[in-house]
Structure 1
Amino acid sequence: MALIGVFDSGVGGLSILDEALRQLPQHDYIYLADSANAPYGEKSSDWIAQRSLVLCRHLADKGCDAIVIACNTATAEAIKQIREQLSIPIIGVEPGIKPAAMQSQNHIVGVLATEATLKSDKFNALLATLPSDCRFIKQAGAGLVPLIESGKADGQETLELLAKHLEPIQDAGADTIVLGCTHYPFLRKAIRKLLGESITLIDTSDAVVRQLKRQLDALKPSSASPEFGSVLLLSSKNENLLLSMAQDLMSADLASHSVEAQILGEVR
């Protein structure tokens, strides 16, 4: 049994934790939401890199065997530095533009992500490796993360803002949309309401957790362990709100796990 850290700027990484609890329920988890500073996508590259390193080091100091950076923006801006500084496996997330290019029937793919992700060297280097016959419509989802953070993923305000962001993607005729921020899988219902069931939605939660499993298997062989591990939720803003949102947004049976929520103290 391992202790796994999952770090995100806010509640978006709960989509990764949800999948991890589905595939690997026997492990213990610390989920760290830096909601006091969300969204990261509107902050400077230097700030994101420094803050992400500090928080991942905090998780490593708590004894985590591996850390998932469940934030596309933090992955793009900070994962190289974090891997250089920490000696445990660090698993990142990135928009699933490669599988989207392979699955699109008309070779027109929308990418809904934060401004920081879309401008990052990591994202654009990945984009440059893909076939030139696939057209990518890049769209920053400005304002969506704060709405999701405030529990309004299914609200009318979110639906109206989302419709504006999806308009260029829809006008281009995209048949596939990449959910390029871990917050955005919680908008699936709203996207389906706006665009219908035929649009293909791509997120990488499953692939990220499979990579985590490979890293853990290489780290230590599986051994006898409880069926369900513990989950500690840490928030830099409001631990009770984080717990409430985890219960609302996640499909995993949290009642099967020992769950505790705490406020994140000052970290340096």
Structure 2
Amino acid sequence: MQNQAIGIFDSGIGGTSIWKEIVDLLPNENTIYLADSKYAPYGRRSKSEIIDLSIKNTNTLLERNCKIIVVACNTATTNAIQILRDTYPVPFIGIEPAIKPAAIHTQTKSVGILATKGTLSSELFTKTSDLYAQNIKVTEVIGSGLVELIEENKIHSEEMKSLLQSYLAPMLKNDIDYLVLGCSHYSYLVPILQNLLPKKITIIDSGEAVARQTRAMLSKHQILNQNKKSGTHQLYTNGNPIVLKNILKDLKREYTIDCLHF
């Protein structure tokens, strides 16, 4: 079982930001990544749809003998991960907006959260926010259209810049000093956000923390890969493979990309 792959899925290519962190931290592990671009973004879908898609992705990964599954999607985590944990015997790692560190470290007592509708409206997000941000002003903004532009390889478009400026405006008005990214796709927007935001604002992304949690869970279950050679990495998409190739074009690591109907 130690040699079996880490399974990772997201509603498209955004979760590759998590996948890269995992591969960097655990270079000997094998990975299988599912880009469910056909149904992206999950954030505008109903809870029942999100659960069904998460089950479909989990079954696809388990058919390929994955030993652990990383739900590299905030919306899927906040809406479906408990059901996945109750249904399947393998360990699951989730990702949700990092409200806690922002609330702890903010000096202005004002933080911004950029996320999908599906994440911000979820019960898990509400509980987390209520727990850690009681005395903090939280400006929540739904990033409508951002995932679609990323999936269309339009990260550096004027349309993207214009949308981000409009979403950041109410946060800047409320004097935030932390911006929490609540969607794995948004990790690819960090360079643009850094140009649009004052330097005093810290951007929080969850990728590295998810990788550390994955390592901890593998260790806990004694299923860390003990091989000394580099792992193999297979990425599947049910969308346009060119978009997935473009987002990874600067990655100096061997991997394969294939189309898969799932």
Change (3 A) 1:202 1:81: same
- The one-letter amino acid paired with 1:140 is I
Contact 1:106 1:175 in 2 (8 A): yes
What runs of 5+ residues in structure 1 fail to find an aligned partner?
A: none
- The Cα shift of 1:151 comes to 1.3
Question: What residue is the counterpart of 2:194 in the other structure?
Answer: 192
3-state SS of 2:184 partner:
coil
Q: What TM-score does the superposition give when structure 2 sets the normalisation length? A: 0.95
Q: 4+ runs of 1 displaced by more than 4 Å? A: none
Shift of 1:162: 0.6
Going from structure 1 to structure 2, the CA distance change for 1:221 and 1:149 (only over 3 Å counts) comes to: closer
CA-to-aligned-CA distance 1:78-114 (integer Å, 9 cap, x gap): 1111111111011000000001111211110000000
1:101 and 1:109 in contact (8 A); partners too:
yes
Matched, 1:78 2:80: yes
Partner of residue 109, structure 1: 111
Which amino acid in 1 is paired with 2:108?
Answer: N
Instruction: Say whether the 8 Å CA contact 1:233–1:239 is kept in structure 2.
Output: no
Aligned residues: 260
Contact 2:37–2:151 (8 Å) recurs in 1: yes
- CA distance in 1 between counterparts of 2:139 and 2:153 reads 28
Percentage of matched positions with identical amino acids: 37
2:145 alignment counterpart: 143
Q: What does 1:97-176 align with in structure 2 at a 5 Å threshold? A: 97-176=99-178
Deviation (angstroms), 1:262: 1.1
Following TM superposition, by how much is the alpha carbon of 1:131 offset from its aligned partner in structure 2, in angstroms?
A: 4.4
> Using a 3 Å threshold, how does the CA distance of structure 1 residues 176 and 223 change in structure 2: closer, same or farther?
closer
Residue 256 (structure 2) pairs with residue 260 (structure 1): yes
Within the candidate set 92, 95, 98, 1:96 is matched to 98
In structure 2, do the counterparts of structure 1 residues 226 and 111 end up closer, same or farther at CA, with 3 Å as the change threshold? same
CA offsets, 1:208-237, max 9 Å, x none?
111110111122264641432111110011
2:237–2:259 Cα contact (<8 Å) kept: yes
Q: 1:141 to 1:243 in 2, by over 3 A?
A: same
Q: Secondary structure at the residue paired with 2:27?
A: coil
User: How many Å separate the matches in 1 of 2:123 and 2:223?
Assistant: 36
SS in 2 for 1:58: helix
